[in-house]
Structure formats: structure tokens, C-alpha cells
Amino acid sequence: MSEDLILEIKPKFIDYIRMLSLDNIAMSVAIASFSIFTGFLTVFLLANINEQALNSFFNIILCFAVNYVVLFLITLKIRVYIDKKNFEVTNYKVYQDRLEFEEGFINHKHTVLKLADIKEIHLTQNFIQRREELGTIKFVTAANNSYSMIGIEMSGIAFKDIENSLAVYTKIKQLHENK
């Protein structure tokens, strides 16, 4: 099977890109917010029991604000660490007739996509990816994992944060057109 391997690609991990990813920020905000919400609920319950707790309410709010920031940063750091471990095991392979996508530090996932099943191929680069000379190649299929592109739900897989993305995109596009 490996005799028809054309390209083997590893994504490039850049910590600040992962730190700024919307899913990592959103998860960190959600975890920190939930934790702070439960803390506020506890304070209000204690305030009803003890008037002294109500007198120091502003000190408690300040304490919660500091805790929120600390919890947000810790959660974000953990998420970036998990992303780094995922990047270490992620591997993209391009064969004459198919693409293979392997990822997962915690939950391992291996996907094989026939070139004949690909409907569209897109190369995208956000501002930060352009700065780091990286790109994401999205393979749109009739049915697979779904993702959103410009608010439109599509299905397929993506090779994320790859170097020389234009050259890789061009090579895969040629293979796809010659299928």
C-alpha cells in the first residue's frame, strides 16, 4: 500500500496560534464561567445565612474576578498542551487514489477518504497562518464529518496548519482532477 504514497505531511504546531483558536478560548471561557457562577451562587447562599458575608461582598467579587482570570489561563494552557500532543500524533498522507488522516492523543482517529469522493478542495489561510506561512486544505465530500465554512455547513476533512500549503494544495488538486 505504501508504494503509492505521494506525500506525507505533519501539521506545524505554533502555540500562540492554538492559544488564539476560537474553540480553545470558548472552552476556557465556558469552564471558568461555570466555575465562577457556582462560586457566586455559594456566596449568595452564604449571604442569606451570614450578614458578615454580605458586608465583604465587594472583596468577594474582586476575589472571584482574580480567580476567573487564573482559571481561564490554566484551562487555556491545558487545552494548548492537549492540542500540542494531538499535533504530535497527527499525520496526513496523500496516495494516488486516497487521503489518509490520522489524529488523536486521547481518542485516536484514522480516516480514509477516496479522491473520487471529494467534491471540492479549498485552501484557506487566516491572518496568523499567512504570517507563519501555513494553511488549511479543506476537502468537501457528500458525507463525512461536518464543519462550517462562512456560515455554511459542509462535510469533509481538513489538513490543518500545514507548511507549503499552496504546493500541497496544487499537488492534491492535480491528483483529484486526474482521478
- Residue range 130-155, pLDDT digits in tens: 998 999 999 988 764 455 544 445 56
Residue 10 has pLDDT above 90, yes or no: yes
| Nearest-5° Cα angle at 163, 159 to 101 | 25
Pairwise CA distance, residues 37 & 20, whole Å: 24
Phi/psi-derived region of residue 161, left when phi > 0, alpha when psi is between -120 and 50, beta in every other case: left
CA distances from 127 to 10, 17, 168 (A): 21, 10, 19
According to the model, what pLDDT value does residue 102 have? 92
Q: Looking at the domain covering 2-7+94-177, what would its CATH class be?
A: mainly beta
CA distance 159 to 169: 10
Cα(88)–Cα(111) distance, rounded to whole angstroms? Answer: 17
pLDDT of 108 higher than 80: yes
Q: Residue 92 has what pLDDT?
A: 95
What is the model's pLDDT at position 166?
A: 94
